[in-house]
Amino acid sequence: GSAKLAYRPINSLLVRATGGTSFRAPNLRELFLRAQTGFLSVFDPCLLPESAIDQFTNDYNPALDDRDPRVLENCRATGVEPTTAHNDGFNFYTVEIAAGGALDLREETSESVTAGFAWEQPFTNAFDLTIGASFYRIEIENTIIEPSAQFVVNDCYYSQTGNSAFCTRITREDVTSAGTGPLISFVDRGFINRDSETVRGLDLNLAFDWEFTVFDLPFQLGVDVNTHRLIERSTLFVGDDGTPDFNEFQREWYFPEYRGTANARLDYDRWRISWTMRYLAAGLEWDGAVDGLGDIHASTGWGSSTCLGPPEDYLCRDYADAPDYMLHSASIWYSGDTWVAGGGVGNLFDKAPPEIQEFATTIKNVPIGAGYDLQGRTWFLSVRLRLFEGQ
């Protein structure tokens, strides 16, 4: 259900608020999908990587191990010694994966609240100015998800708190007679309830219009600004023993704290010139993956492939923070009686996307799908026809 409230204390100010709830029961697939198994490759961070094995002695060399110390601690917490467990240097291997419905799934419920205002300046007729702001909060409880096998493994061993609820879904076999293992033998990626998922944010909008004359020629200037601040984007899992596993994504890639667009346009007769700016705040690396300062010898416990370390060189760390990012675009248009033609340029200053440490979610060191332009400066021409105008 939902409810809305609007109140205008004065003619120029509108105060508004909405609230709503929703309910979704598990569907037939989520409940009764027949259990099925298959075999997929997963990456096991608890096994010795080939790079950490001395090529001359064939023994583990901690100076060559560039794994995050948090990963090593999480592996030990689940009963795996990451400095001896191995698969002859191969971290990718085939694992039996199970998927299927779950009869113990709980229904999804959500609560949402928005509150804001819209104000129109009442002081003069020389120009129009409208300012609006809205705060929102959405919380979904018991979200039904179907995680991938690699997500289950990553959430367990890369957990910042060391108490991921997904660790119980991973089964390992014993060490083999040849000394390899303990390898993952089974991963349960069936449907599960996520205890809570929350997002909070603030939208701010501004619209300005002004008609003026220059040398008796009429012009109209318009400016539209739309901005957004993300306050929270988090998930919460609670393990069977009641231990919470909380993850906050705000300010990380894909979830910048601030983003916005601004468009300015100037109209004269049938002509329009426009300028658009798009802004993304910095995207930070996930806290659980931030490396400490190190060198190629891992003398500090952290490895880095680009620094030799003192005294000849510096300590450094792999970099995966994307800085603030802004694009500019411009265009010009002409409107005929039944047609519109125009052209322009996108990414006017040929702004390059930020580069970070290479990951599976990057293309040439650029985060995929995070709002960055991968094409560079582009030109365009457009013609639109309005057929049957007025008929």
Q: Is residue 262 assigned to a domain?
A: no
Of 221-235, 242-256, 273-287, give the lowest mean pLDDT range.
242-256
**What's the rounded mean pLDDT across residues 362-385?**
87
Domain that holds residue 159: 1-131+138-199
Name residue 316's beta-bridge partners.
294
Q: Is residue 89 assigned to a domain?
A: yes
pLDDT in tens, 60-102: 888 888 788 889 999 999 999 999 999 887 888 999 999 999 9
When pLDDT is cut at 50, 70 and 90, the band that residue 137 belongs to is very high
Q: Is residue 11 assigned to a domain?
A: yes
First to last CA, the chain: 42
Q: Is residue 93 assigned to a domain?
A: yes
- Whether residue 311 is predicted with pLDDT greater than 80 in this model: the reply is no
How many CB atoms lie under 10 A from the CB of residue 275? 16
DSSP state of 166: T
Cβ 197 vs Cβ 111: under 8 Å: no
Query: From CA 213, how far away is CA 68, in angstroms rounded?
Result: 64
Query: From CA 49, how far away is CA 77, in angstroms rounded?
Result: 19
Q: Say which amino acid occupies 155.
A: D
Structure tokens at 303: 């490895």
Q: Is residue 9 assigned to a domain?
A: yes
Q: What is the pLDDT of residue 1?
A: 86
Return all residues near 31 (Cβ < 8 A) that are at least 6 apart: 101, 102, 103, 105
Query: From CA 233, how far away is CA 12, in angstroms rounded?
Result: 34
Q: What is the pLDDT of residue 389?
A: 61
Return all residues near 338 (Cβ < 8 A) that are at least 6 apart: 385, 386, 387, 389
Q: Say which amino acid occupies 36.
A: Q
| Closest-CA residue to 264 (of 329, 213, 343) | 329
pLDDT in tens, 112-125: 999 999 999 999 99
Q: Is residue 358 assigned to a domain?
A: no
> Buried b vs exposed e over 169-182: b needs ≥16 C-beta within 10 Å?
bbebeeeeeeeebb
Structure tokens at 134: 């809205």
Q: Is residue 389 assigned to a domain?
A: no
Name residue 38's beta-bridge partners.
97
The three-class DSSP label of residue 131 is strand
Cβ 346 vs Cβ 306: under 8 Å: no
Structure tokens at 382: 């457009």
Structure tokens at 189: 């990626």
Tell me phi and psi for residue 282, to 5 degrees: -60, 145
- Whether residue 6 is predicted with pLDDT greater than 90 in this model: the reply is yes
Looking at the 3D structure of the chain, how many domains does it have? 1
When pLDDT is cut at 50, 70 and 90, the band that residue 281 belongs to is very high
Percent of the chain clearing pLDDT 90 (strictly above): 63
Percent of the chain clearing pLDDT 70 (strictly above): 94
Q: Say which amino acid occupies 256.
A: P
Q: Is residue 338 assigned to a domain?
A: no
Q: CA 204 → CA 230, 258, 318, distances in Å?
A: 12, 11, 36
